Amino acid sequence: MGKSMMIWSSIKQFSLQRFVSSLLQAFGILWLLVGVTAYFFSGRPWVVTIKSGWWVFLISGIIIGFYRAWPRLSVKERISDTDADVEVRVGDIFSQPYAVIIGSNTTFDTAMDDKTISHKSLQGQFTQKYCPSIPELDKQIDFALQNVSPRNTRNKQDKPYGKSKEYELGTVAPIHIGGKRAYFVSIAVLNEHRVATSDRDDFLDSLPRMWAEIRRRGEFEPLCCPVLGAGFSRLNLTREELIREIIKSFVTAIVEAKFCENLTVVISPKDFREGHVDLMKIGRFLEHECIYARSISKPRGTSPIGTPIA
């Protein structure tokens, strides 16, 4: 996203109601400071000077109000009692210097010429940017899955194209290609018409499996994740709901066992421009989730409440 486009997108998301609220809060704080100062130091020459400079407080209040109301492009929090961070930001996922999570399908199909994988999908963009050829990508995926048992084999009537081995939702295939490390994860099922679909319950169940697989098979490295399920998976959840579920599942997984020090969830510039995500709301959720993560997650090895002590 160019600088001018980013500014324009922020202006489009600017909320007058939020600005007025922030302005009143700023004036309230400034008035409190002036009132307390005037009460305890009345008669001092510099107090009179402060009172005469009311316009400074007016301008300061407006600046603070604008700053607090201006749409954020990133929010970041540290998970309590850990040294792991979670960040949500607007940008190009491939410009981030981290290992990237790529949403794929349960058969890990990769063909693009027959439109099984769309050139516009994140998997398609990754393939075009980093993969020298589809056969090389397939070779790496096959190697990554060689010790993973498929859940079944699709027949030609049900899926007359592509690959037949089907894996559980949440299965991860770690690969390193074109100088980029990626984790292909199955989050959708392809039907006979090459259409990828997923439902809410299956998707939510796949997230813990995904983190567990990355913990078990991945390297200890920062991770970059798109808003999984927001595109060609046709999942009937808003982008904000998807982001919240990704954050919750990651925080729970990190609290259980640490496998990286940073997760960056990347929102596409298009989604930001169209107002699909309010980063201020996401920031409040992120703060709450990271602060109270340990208190709402049951630690391993603890006895259930009411267990008698011998």
pLDDT in tens, the chain (310 residues): 455 555 555 555 656 666 667 667 766 776 677 676 666 666 566 666 665 665 666 677 677 766 666 667 889 999 988 889 999 999 999 999 999 999 999 999 999 999 999 999 999 999 999 999 999 999 999 999 999 999 999 999 899 999 999 999 999 999 999 999 999 999 999 999 999 988 899 999 999 999 999 999 999 999 999 999 988 888 889 999 999 999 999 999 998 899 999 999 999 988 888 878 888 889 999 999 998 865 544 444 443 434 433 3
Q: Which residues pair with 267 in a beta bridge?
A: 90
Q: Which CATH architecture has domain 74-296?
A: 3-Layer(aba) Sandwich (3.40)
- Give the pair of three-digit tokens for residue 191: 């039907």
The DSSP 8-state label assigned to residue 309 in this structure reads P
Q: φ and ψ at 197, to 5 degrees? A: -135, 155
- Domain boundaries for CATH 3.40.220.10 within the chain: 74-296
Q: How many CB atoms lie within 10 A of CB 72?
A: 15
- Give the pair of three-digit tokens for residue 309: 């002590």
Provide the sign of the torsion angle of the four alpha carbons 86, 89, 94, 96, taken in this order.
negative
Distance CA 169, CA 105 (A): 8
* Amino acid occupying residue 29: I
Query: Is pTM, for the whole model, over 0.85?
Result: no
99 sits in which H/E element: strand 99-105
Angle at 166 between CA 162 and CA 170, to 5 degrees: 120
Distance CA 39, CA 52 (A): 16
279 sits in which H/E element: helix 279-291
Q: Are 203 and 166 in contact (CB under 8 A)?
A: no
